[in-house]
Amino acid sequence: MTETDAAQPDPSLRSGSPVGVDWNLLRETARAAMERAYVPYSKFPVGAAALTDTGRIVSGCNVENASYGLTLCAECSLVSDLVMGGGGHLVAFACVDGNGGVLMPCGRCRQLLYEHSAEGMVLDTVSGFKTIDEVIPDAFGPRQLEAYEASQKGRS
């Protein structure tokens, strides 16, 4: 256990922790992914890990680019891992910085996660466990498109 680990409470013991999710394993997987980050410019490695609805764990790290706008966040490579591994929906998510501390995904990544989330997906955030709908309220994604499509059936 590192000094950083000792300073942070066990996320599986936090109030509101979803039952059946091994948050320690997700955070450790995110830390391992973070170790592979390519960050020659910011020197700020990020790792992410998520549990899918089939029980598979997917992960990713940030990959910087000299043309800064082309940098990929850890969540981008996590979603690539999800899709390359056969797809599915994300049910639990954790993201860590270079010290192993919990990070909140940026707005772009929240939208990306929403696209691939199961309803009620839970994120380990700096302010405790939150659902995807709490971190990106009133989001637009596949569920809204499906609802619209269903509302159009029979209209011709």
Which residues belong to the active site?
A: 75
CA-atom Rg of the chain in angstroms: 16
Do residues 23 and 11 touch, judged by C-beta distance below 8 A?
yes
Give first-to-last CA distance, the chain, whole Å: 63
Describe the crossing of helices 107-115 and 74-84 by its angle, rounded to 10 degrees.
10
Q: Which two tokens stand for residue 22?
A: 């091994």
**H or E, element range at 86:** none
The CA-based diameter of the chain, rounded to the nearest angstrom, is: 64
Amino acid letter, 123:
L
